[in-house]
Amino acid sequence: MTSIELITARARAGLESRRGIVRLHPEIFTALGLQPGDAITMRGRHTTTAIAFEADRHASRRSLYADDLTLGNLGVRENTEVDVSPAQLTAAQNITIDAPASIVAGVDTEILRRSLLSKVVTEGDDISLLPIEIGDKSLAGATRRTLNNTLGMGWTSFILTATSTDPDGPVMITNDTRVQWLNPMTHRLRPETTGPRLATAEGDRAPHSVTSAPSSPQAIRPTPPRAPAINPGTQTSELPDNTIPYADLAGYRQPAEELRELLDLAFFHSEVLTVVGTKVRLGIMMTGPSGTGKSTIVNSVVNELGINLHELSGPDLAAMDANAAAGQLRDTRGNLNGHSVLLLRNVDAIAPEDKPTPLSTMFTRFTEEILESGNAVICTTTNIDAVSRDLRAALEHEVIVDLPDLEARRDILTYLTKSMKLDDAVDLDAIAARAQGYVAADLDAVIREAGVKAALRAKDGGATALQTDDLTTALDTVSPSALADDHVDLGGLTLADVGGMHDLKQSLTETILWPLSYPDAFTRLGIEPPRGILLYGPPGCGKTYIVRAVAGEGQANVITVKGSELLNKWVGESERNVRELFRRARAAAPTLMFFDEIDALVPQRGGGSDNPTADRVVAALLTELDGAESLHDVVIVGATNRPDIIDPALLRPGRLERLLYVPPPDAEGRADILRAGAKNVPFSEDVNLDELADELWLYSAADCSALVREAALTAMRESLDASVVTMAHLESARQRIRPSLDMKQLEDLENYSEKRNGM
């Protein structure tokens, strides 16, 4: 058997400490014929085993990185030579553990087995209750939480001893291992919870009963602990209320990883910070729309790392009088022990930017004290601009929880429905595509609503499986809360519903859909996608309609901008409204921002107007369009019939750089519009829409649609029992619906278009 003499070194503190894991240089793995995760035997004054993983490639090639517990099991100090060789493991059939009476009385054998799962043990080894973390960590996190609730925060320092193993030699504890206490006292083993057992006269207290052992030692590899099945809306004894296992944070892994890395680095890898010569303060601001799961992410991450969590509600504190709120803050600070996290939800309620209060000053100072003591403070808010600047300065890190994109929505729906019976025809991808702007809380409400509909149908003897209609109906019932003020119902409209304008539709596809649908193509070619587009043309020719169709084609979130929501007579308020508008757009990306009648919002500056608000709005818009903060996956579309009065700075490259003329429909376009508007109208055989379209000179798209509606109403006026619309009805309607296009305006717009194209 190959062996190598090594020099031991002190382990790095962290998640691997006291978990039976050591680190070796990759070259040592090659020399010993090992793979990461294999077990090794180490011989010093005593012999012990551990699971080996690769150390950093810059680590010493002649060092074994082991923690204090492993060095104690070897019976050596640091810088002592030990022999290392591959270990041949067998699965433990039985193992007996000795521990102080307080631990034996507080921890049942099932929780004990879970804390030792996948560890390799030799008789006489000292071991800890800290679960090993290989593969899926959800069971380990649940076990840590249970031990924390049972034994208090000090359980991580308790040391146990493996007094006997069966079979002899190094063994690995598996799901079938029977684990028992050496002195069970009044704490009895739970039948059938720790693997196969033999009945004895002593019942549960037989210390060395074994089942048939393997006929020969068999080399085995550590296997990840099995995670419990957690269904949405249910609780288990292993997890706190409303806590989702870290592995099941569908759709929100990126912000969860950011938070986990920060907490893990500061709490468990502080020696790395020391080596680098820096330190980190765990003041963290989590921002994102309401319902995206900010508090859920914090709970899952803290549970995963086994850190103590204290929660406070900003609105609840703000509702108290100052003395009561101060008392609660002092009590909370007294409960923090150096490795704790304080989560304050909706911090803007107690630390507002616009109205500083004594409570906000007190909380800012309170936050500084907690951070100086080595604890973490995490504050959540839906609008970071509404939070006191002093508090924002204290919270150095920001974790953004955006609206879920298409893939994230699909993952969330998959998680929420994994315990439900779905009809084979249900396509969660299609449901996710329809759920633009829906946050996790909205999707949860959709699934609950759909489940209720399925249950009502099943009660009447119908199908029990969740149907596509249940989900689509629920989507219509539950509105997206994150875009409640901005959401636009596209009504399933796509470019196929737009008559004519083929060249314009192609230009819009390239300018709007390509950046949102194929961002990698722009990256591959090394160019930035167009930032914005301006549609101009006579009124009623379909500018707004075609934008809705493009948005429906690309399945993007749509934010419509109204001048009234941006303009405010108070100094600074209009600029703040613009910043908030673009913040929502970035959070909801991919987003199409539509400014209808944009000429009223951004007129030319310096035109003699006595209203400075418009000038400030123009300046704020220009800053947002090409400012320091990127508008990734956000496209701006403006529409106007007066492009000549828009501030020229808005139309330069990098802003609304593409100007597209939306002309009045020609004869072919008018025929398409008539057919689209009349697809459900029963015309008589004498109606020829192509001939009619030729005669509708100066009729806009809106005029053509109105003509069809008026013809149907004319038929109804003649008889409420009318079943068809005739050519006579259309001719009568033409007397009422007159063309709205103005020749002078058309000439001006065409001249503007020719001038722009000739530039």
Identity at 52, one-letter amino acid code: A
Write down the pLDDT at residue 528: 75
Write down the pLDDT at residue 97: 92
Token pair of 704, please?
């053509």
Q: For the residues 50-72, what does the mean pLDDT come to?
A: 83
Tell how far CA 238 is from the center of its chain: 24
Cβ partners under 8 Å of residue 627, min gap 6 = none
Poorest-pLDDT segment among 124-133, 288-297, 555-564: 555-564
Tell me which residue of 595, 586, 581 sits closest to 632, measured CA to CA.
Answer: 586
Q: How far apart are CA 574 and CA 472, in angstroms?
A: 38
SS3 call for 254:
helix
Q: For the residues 681-693, what does the mean pLDDT come to?
A: 86
Does the structure show a pLDDT above 60 at 725? yes
Write down the pLDDT at residue 144: 77
Where does 283-339 show beta strands of DSSP type E? 283-287, 308-313
Token pair of 717, please?
């006026």
Poorest-pLDDT segment among 296-305, 338-347, 557-566: 557-566
Tell me which residue of 238, 609, 592 sits closest to 617, measured CA to CA.
Answer: 609
- Across the beta sheet with 171-172, the strand order is 90-91, 171-172, 120-121
Write down the pLDDT at residue 96: 93
Does the structure show a pLDDT above 90 at 49? yes
Q: How far apart are CA 661 and CA 543, in angstroms?
A: 10
Q: What is the pLDDT of residues 382-436, one digit of tens each?
A: 888 889 888 998 898 999 888 787 788 888 898 888 888 888 888 888 888 878 7
* CB-count burial class (<10 Å; 0-12, 13-18, 19+) for 496: exposed
Poorest-pLDDT segment among 182-196, 331-345, 473-487: 182-196
Poorest-pLDDT segment among 104-118, 128-142, 435-449, 650-664: 128-142
SS3 call for 312:
strand
Does the structure show a pLDDT above 80 at 501? no
- pLDDT band of residue 188 (cuts 50, 70, 90) is very low
What does the H/E/C string look like for 47-69?
A: EEEEEEEECCCCCCCCEEEECHH
Write down the pLDDT at residue 563: 64
Q: How far apart are CA 706 and CA 723, in angstroms?
A: 19
Write down the pLDDT at residue 316: 87
Write down the pLDDT at residue 439: 85
Does the structure show a pLDDT above 60 at 208? no
Q: CA-CA-CA-CA torsion for 250, 254, 256, 259, nearest 10 degrees?
A: 180
Cβ partners under 8 Å of residue 171, min gap 6 = 89, 90, 91, 92, 95, 120, 121, 122, 165
Write down the pLDDT at residue 298: 92
Instruction: Please count the residues of the chain.
Output: 759
Most confident of 63-67, 168-172, 552-556: 168-172
Q: How far apart are CA 334 and CA 520, in angstroms?
A: 51
Does the structure show a pLDDT above 60 at 192? no
Q: What is the pLDDT of residues 561-605, one digit of tens each?
A: 766 667 766 667 777 778 878 877 776 667 788 888 888 778 877
Q: For the residues 333-345, what does the mean pLDDT come to?
A: 84
Ordered alpha helix ranges (H), 91-234 = 101-106, 109-116, 138-151
Q: How far apart are CA 554 and CA 509, in angstroms?
A: 9
Q: How far apart are CA 209 and CA 178, in angstroms?
A: 9
Does the structure show a pLDDT above 70 at 727? yes
More confident residue, 197 or 340: 340
Write down the pLDDT at residue 604: 79
Most confident of 84-93, 180-189, 661-670: 84-93
| Phi then psi dihedrals of residue 235, to 5 deg | -125, 150
Tell me which residue of 112, 82, 73 sits closest to 9, measured CA to CA.
Answer: 82
Tell how far CA 502 is from the center of its chain: 38
Pairing type for strands 634-640 and 532-536 reads parallel
Cβ partners under 8 Å of residue 453, min gap 6 = 470, 473, 474
Q: How far apart are CA 198 and CA 204, in angstroms?
A: 9
* CB-count burial class (<10 Å; 0-12, 13-18, 19+) for 684: middle
Q: How far apart are CA 398 and CA 387, in angstroms?
A: 13
Write down the pLDDT at residue 75: 86
Q: How far apart are CA 392 and CA 379, in angstroms?
A: 10
More confident residue, 628 or 703: 703
- Across the beta sheet with 308-313, the strand order is 308-313, 340-345, 376-381, 283-287, 397-400
Q: For the residues 554-561, what does the mean pLDDT come to?
A: 72
SS3 call for 242:
coil
Q: How far apart are CA 594 and CA 575, in angstroms?
A: 18
Q: State pTM to two decimals.
A: 0.52
Does the structure show a pLDDT above 90 at 156? no
Cβ partners under 8 Å of residue 248, min gap 6 = 138, 230, 415
- pLDDT band of residue 211 (cuts 50, 70, 90) is very low
Tell me which residue of 41, 76, 81 sits closest to 63, measured CA to CA.
Answer: 81
Pairing type for strands 63-66 and 21-24 reads antiparallel
DSSP secondary structure string, 525-593?
A: HT-PPP-EEEEE-STTSSHHHHHHHHHHHHT-EEEEE-HHHH--SSTTHHHHHHHHHHHHHHHT-SEEE
Q: For the residues 477-482, what does the mean pLDDT come to?
A: 73
Write down the pLDDT at residue 198: 29
Q: Which single residue is written with the structure tokens 């803290």?
A: 302
124: left (phi over 0), alpha (psi -120 to 50) or beta: left
Write down the pLDDT at residue 138: 60
Tell how far CA 482 is from the center of its chain: 14
Q: What is the pLDDT of residues 165-183, one digit of tens each?
A: 999 889 999 888 999 988 7
Write down the pLDDT at residue 218: 36
Q: Which single residue is written with the structure tokens 């700075």?
A: 649
Q: For the residues 502-525, what does the mean pLDDT come to?
A: 77
Mean pLDDT of the chain: 78
Pairing type for strands 81-86 and 39-43 reads antiparallel
Token pair of 154, please?
């000090």
The neighbouring-strand residues paired with 121 are: 171
- pLDDT band of residue 122 (cuts 50, 70, 90) is very high
Token pair of 721, please?
């029992």
296: left (phi over 0), alpha (psi -120 to 50) or beta: alpha
Number of H helices and number of E strands within the chain?
Answer: 28, 23
Q: For the residues 55-72, what does the mean pLDDT come to?
A: 82
Write down the pLDDT at residue 285: 93
DSSP secondary structure string, 212-223?
A: PPPSS-------
